Structures are given as C-alpha cells and as structure tokens.
Amino acid sequence: MKCRSLLGAAALIVFLSATNVRAQTNSDDPLFPLPVFTPQIKTLDLKIELPPPPRIRERYDAKPVRVGRFSKKRFLILSAAVYGASFADMHQTLKERKYDWWYESDPFAKPFVRLPAPAYYAAGLAMATGVNWISWKMGHSRKWHKLAAIPQLLAIGGNTCGFKSNLF
C-alpha cells in the first residue's frame, strides 16, 4: 500500500514539474517556425488637394469670459441700508430692553441682547459687515452674481422687522 502511494506521489511530482522543463539547446530558431504573412499595400497615385485648415485663434486673441455685471452703486446703496437697519434695530432694542416686561423672541439675537451696549453695537455691526462681505463675494462670482443682493435684502428685512416689533 505504501508503495502505491509513493509511486503515485512521484508520478504527480514528475508530471507537475515537466511543464517547467526546458530543452537544453543553444539555438535561437524556433522548433516549429510559424509562417509570417506580410500584406501587400497597393498605392494609387491620386492627387487630392485639401482645403487649408481653419485659422485657429491664438490665446491672446480670445476675449476673456465675462462675469455678470456687478453694480457698485446698488451694492453701496444696499450696504448703507443694511448698516442703517441694523443700527436702528440695535438702538431700539437697547432702548426697550431696560423694561421688565420686554423679552427677545429671536433665538439668533437672544445671546447678544444681554451684552453691554458697546459690545452689542460691535457685534451687530460686525454681522452687518459679514453680510455685506458675503454679498460682495457673491457679486464677483460667475455662479452667484445674480443672487448677490439676497443676503443684504434678507438682513434689511430682518432688522426692519426687529425694529418694528420693538415699537409699542
């Protein structure tokens, strides 16, 4: 029984290693040369005149891509309105917050209301400056230039609403 398994293992090893065996020849010629077919190319003597290629515009000839029109006048008017509405809302809030019955219902403005007056004005004007900066950046963008006035208009509307809600 042992003899059969040893013979079988030896036969298996010879069979698996035989695929990696190479002949010991120094010849570079293949044993069975394959026929090589080279196609014959026939040329016709036809003279075809092609039109000249179209003139390609050079980089310096190309006009720059136009970004949407940014209106400085509209931006400055809306900026002044943002600062004016913000200042009016802050002034009216400071005037009314001294009463016991007054409370701030806006959750965004609630943390700022209890600040001292100079810090409250500084925070409010910093927010107005941030809104104007966002609007300026949007105005000079290719993608957002048409919507540049929206942050300023929303700030004006919000501060006007805050100003009017404090008038009793």
pLDDT digits (tens, 9 = 90+) for 86-125: 999 999 988 888 888 888 887 888 888 889 999 999 999 9
Establish if 113 belongs to a structural domain.
Answer: yes
User: Please, how many CA atoms are within 13 Å of residue 11, restricted to the half-sphere of its CB?
Assistant: 6
Establish if 19 belongs to a structural domain.
Answer: no
Establish if 103 belongs to a structural domain.
Answer: yes
pLDDT digits (tens, 9 = 90+) for 51-91: 877 766 555 555 665 656 788 999 999 999 999 999 999 99
Establish if 32 belongs to a structural domain.
Answer: no
CB atoms under 10 Å from CB of 139, counted, come to 22
Query: What is the Cα–Cα distance from 38 to 161, expressed in whole angstroms?
Result: 88
How many domains would you assign to the chain?
A: 1
pLDDT digits (tens, 9 = 90+) for 135-164: 999 999 888 888 999 999 999 999 998 888
The larger pLDDT score, comparing residue 131 to residue 33, is at 131
Q: What is the pLDDT, as a whole number, of residue 31?
A: 64
* Overall pTM surpassing 0.75 (yes/no): no
